[in-house]
Structure 1
């Protein structure tokens, strides 16, 4: 029978990419990781890794082993959930990753609900964008991720992950000035900002790709002078008339919007916000409690306009 610890190291290598990254994540020496994987190769009797320059990649047989390892780990997560369900109180640590606006608008209320209902549950929250958080969830760095999906930009759905919808968050065109000539319709309002400075999220993010596509479909290339993942900075730049922006409704966290807003073209008016967990862990009482608390936070009057 293959050693589960070594199989997990092989799985970690698939998700993290390098021996050094595996060693760093697990607090091992790289030489120890390499030695364990060599022993696994001896157990299996076939090569599991092949050199590609300075990196290594998994062989076809290694990919087969990782697929079976995923199934074993999923079953173990279900066992962990069953044991936790049999207990009278929630204990341990729940690790959450959340993007900024959800972290500001929803997570504090959810944390208060969890603290009141389950005082012995330790919740650890990390601010991280979904592009980084979802691979980290697969690598078991987190137990639950708050993620977002922009219109016409569906996110990849790995078979190892399970999603649950949380809310649809309205998206707005935020104007740097109240009156803009020729902005009677959503498309006209967007085109009226063709020569105006813009603030957007960094290149490579889902939000930036969506925003650029929206502007290009309107017939112009936006003049992006400001880049930041911080949507509160986006809002401040619009408030001071330095830039136009696309802002989600959650950025005001239940308060009245502070800048002139226009609707976006049809089909582009909401982003989907959802929670993601590894397959097999959705039954865990801590995960269920967290998802329930987040849904209550969405329904809370303090989080609605």
Structure 2
């Protein structure tokens, strides 16, 4: 049976509206050891954002709750900070032009890169809308994503992407490489079991996890838990990745689980989930 680290690669903790670090305690009680904590959209935490200060406030809230979670885990918790791609639609609805909205979002990415460079965050979050938008908004969103790739290359970190569904993201990986970021440092959040281009962060549904375990490509496991008191289990609850890990171990997937929880985190983020588990 697999008895190594268990990482949820994409989970939200909301100390303003939700359970905050208590959800991390539930993850640990279920057998989880490590978390990558993504900031919730800025409008969920601080309301409307029109300058860098709003992003800083959002990020500081996330850093603080991640530190609280870190104290509750047998391993570590790391913040992953950035700008939710749906912000562009909110800004356009408020009167921003697409290019003007993109400039503000790029400023938020710059702040996230500062936090990574100072060691306060592990990686950057970016992407593009997962719903239909006007061509100008789509183009501006791609500009923001490419800016995130460029800044990540400068500070030496990975980028987690929130995008539309599907499996063909080869062009996105090529954009990252054009901006100086290796494709192995581009992670497709809420992935199916396989993605062409970036590294898939597989939503912890049994069928998709079985598909990922059946191949030889690197992958992560995630819940995308959103810590919303009105939707307590959405998207998946914090116990899910530890439970799915045990289920996969019982099915004989120990090698793939080591890939998801040890090898891929080291390859993508430069983190050692085994050493940080032993340290604690």
What TM bracket, shorter-length normalisation? under 0.3
Structure 1 or 2: larger strand share? 1
Larger Rg: 1
TM-score between both structures, scaled by the size of structure 2? 0.25
